[in-house]
């Protein structure tokens, strides 16, 4: 009986992690293709934790290069809903993202942030959110969010458009 419960817990946890990752991590031929990128492009990518005013992305894109579509962003945000909502004052596994653009990191009332997030000292500008959504652990190392990131720059722009106007 214990084995059955353990197996159920492992399956549930695997499903949860897969939902949060949005499929951005792969374990097949795609990884090999990604690793075949030219060495010059890899060497040019920013490394380490960026400063709070640095909005450079790993893929070299900028938010200004994209027009965000809130309707498309709502569809992309569906993968975030297991942890976040856009309703004010409603915290789940993650904090409410209502009014997140323009707010200080670690400032949503009633949410227990990691020390890393609570003390990072950044403001969620659209550009910083664009960078963060690409790879959260790069921007705020040791934060509690297990989401691997959203490598598609257009989808990041769409989510930001949705977060600005979730209505």
- pLDDT tier at 48 (50, 70, 90 boundaries)? confident
Per-residue pLDDT for 9 more than 60? no
Q: What is the mean pLDDT of residues 18-30?
A: 39
Residue 83 contacts residue 94 (beta carbons within 8 Å): yes
Structural domains in the chain, CATH included, are 2-37+52-164 (1.10.760.10)
Q: How far apart are CA 22 and CA 18, in angstroms?
A: 6
Record the pTM: 0.73
Closest CA to 58 of 146, 126, 136, 124: 136
């Amino acid at each position: 009986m214990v084995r059955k419960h353990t197996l159920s817990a492992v399956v549930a946890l695997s499903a949860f992690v897969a939902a949060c990752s949005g499929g951005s991590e792969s374990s097949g031929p795609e990884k090999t293709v990604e690793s075949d990128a030219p060495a010059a492009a890899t060497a040019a990518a920013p490394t380490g934790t960026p400063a709070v005013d640095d909005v450079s992305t790993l893929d070299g894109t900028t938010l200004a290069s994209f027009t965000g579509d809130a309707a498309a962003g709502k569809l992309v945000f569906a993968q975030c809903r297991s942890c976040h909502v856009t309703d004010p004052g409603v915290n789940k596994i993650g904090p409410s993202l209502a009014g997140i653009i323009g707010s200080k990191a670690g400032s949503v009332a009633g949410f227990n942030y990691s020390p890393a997030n609570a003390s990072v000292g950044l403001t969620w500008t659209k550009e910083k959110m664009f960078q963060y959504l690409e790879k959260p652990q790069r921007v705020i190392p040791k934060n509690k969010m297990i989401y691997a990131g959203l490598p598609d720059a257009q989808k990041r722009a769409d989510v930001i458009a949705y977060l600005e106007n979730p209505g």
